[in-house]
Amino acid sequence: METIKILRLLMACGLIAFTFYLSGCSIFEKENAADTMAATEQTAYYTCDGCHGPNNIRVESMSPKIIGQKKVYLAAKLRDFRDMKRINPYMNGVVAKLTDQDIDNLAAYYSNYGRN
């Protein structure tokens, strides 16, 4: 009987954790960026750099290189994730609240990163 209670508790905890995973929940979650370079850099830092890495150093081997990619390509892929045309539970949650302006700013930021 005790084993069943423990299994139910573990399942409930797993369901809660999975829900946060799907929503892209982050302790660093912030409001959408304004149309400024400083806000775009902050959005990139809190939204993208955790996996794709600052200074072109990727944290996970599974995350693709986005620095230096073409702006149109990056914007299209971010919109696909946001609009659920491309499915990745983590990415769908991370970009769900980004506006078209946020996406354009991030795409421009990463396509020009290091060219200054």
Q: What is the CATH number of the domain that holds 66?
A: 1.10.760.10
Helix H or strand E encompassing 1: none
Q: Does residue 52 belong to any structural domain of this protein?
A: yes
Total domains in the fold of the chain? 1
Q: Does residue 116 belong to any structural domain of this protein?
A: no
Q: Does residue 16 belong to any structural domain of this protein?
A: yes
Q: Does residue 97 belong to any structural domain of this protein?
A: yes
Taking all residues of the chain, what is their mean pLDDT, rounded to a whole number?
77
Q: Quote the domain boundaries for residue 59.
A: 2-111
Greater confidence, 54 or 95?
Answer: 95
- Compute the distance between CA of residue 58 and CA of residue 102 in angstroms, rounded to an integer: 22
22-52: pLDDT as tens digits: 445 444 454 444 458 888 999 898 889 888 8
Q: Which residues touch 85 (CB under 8 Å, ≥6 apart)?
A: 79
